[in-house]
Structure 1
Amino acid sequence: MKKAHIFGIVIIAIAIMVIVSTIGDSSTYTTFTVAQNMAQDGNKEAIHVVGQLTKDPQGKVVGIQSGRDMVSFSFTMIDNDGKTETVFYNEPMPQDFARSEQVVVIGSYKNQEQFIADKILLKCPSKYKEEQTI
């Protein structure tokens, strides 16, 4: 075989190894209870928790509080198991945060007491909702 062919095979093998190693690191969505248990076990990795913002009967989001620095904020979120937890985010509130249907917070528990989010992903309501025609 030529050196170019061997070099190509080595590059392909390295690419396959990189892809396989990143698949093993991919996170799945979990709940606050599982995230808290992972923190108690000493896990410091970022955890993805999915849920909804707490809302009053009129649909208005409740539980949002500005931080002392007026940049950070905290909010109350309900995960898919129904557990309510306060989440702290040390960044400005994302645009359309209060309108989101679903929220994914990526972070971890600090001192097993409060969930600290490093990132927030939002699923906003679609403006292209299908309308019924008569």
Structure 2
Amino acid sequence: MKKSHIFGIVIIAVAILVIVSTIGDSSTYTTFTVAQSMAKDGDRQDIHVVGQLTKDDQGNVQGISTGKDLVSFTFKMVDNDGKIETVFYNQPMPQDFTKSEQVVVIGSYKPNGLFVANKILLKCPSKYKEEQTI
């Protein structure tokens, strides 16, 4: 077997290992309860929690408070199991945050019991939904 063939096989094997390890690191959406249990087990990896912002009867978002520096804010979020949790985000509020249908927070629980998000993903209402005509 030629050295070039062996080199090619090694490169392909390394590429397969990288792909498999990347797939193993990809996370799935979970709930605050699962995220809390993972934090108690000492697992400090980022966790993806999906949910909605808490809203009042008129549909207004509740529980948002900006920090004194206006660079960070906290908000209340309801996960898919119905658990309401306060989330801290050390960045400015994303544009259209209060208009989002669903929110995905990527972060972890800190020892003080607060969920700290490193990243926020928003699912905003589609501007392109077909309107119903009567």
User: Scaled by the length of structure 2, what TM-score is found?
Assistant: 0.95
Whichever residue aligns with residue 124 of structure 2, its letter is: C
Cα distance in 2 between the residues matched to 1:37 and 1:59: 31
Between the two proteins, the alignment pairs up a number of residues equal to 134
Cα distance in 1 between the residues matched to 2:13 and 2:40: 38
Unaligned runs of 5+ in 2: none
Give CA deviations for 1:16-60 in whole Å, capped at 9, x if unaligned: 010011111111111001111111111111111000001111111
| Aligned pairs (5 A) from 1:111-130 | 111=111, 113-130=113-130
Cα distance in 2 between the residues matched to 1:112 and 1:49: 18
**Percent of matched pairs sharing the same residue:** 78
Give CA deviations for 1:83-115 in whole Å, capped at 9, x if unaligned: 000000000001110110000000001115110
Cα distance in 2 between the residues matched to 1:132 and 1:60: 24
Whichever residue aligns with residue 117 of structure 1, its letter is: A
Unaligned runs of 5+ in 1: none
Whichever residue aligns with residue 24 of structure 1, its letter is: G
- Tell me which residue corresponds to 2:40: 40
| Aligned pairs (5 A) from 1:1-16 | 1-16=1-16
- Tell me which residue corresponds to 1:51: 51
RMSD value over aligned CA atoms?
A: 1.1
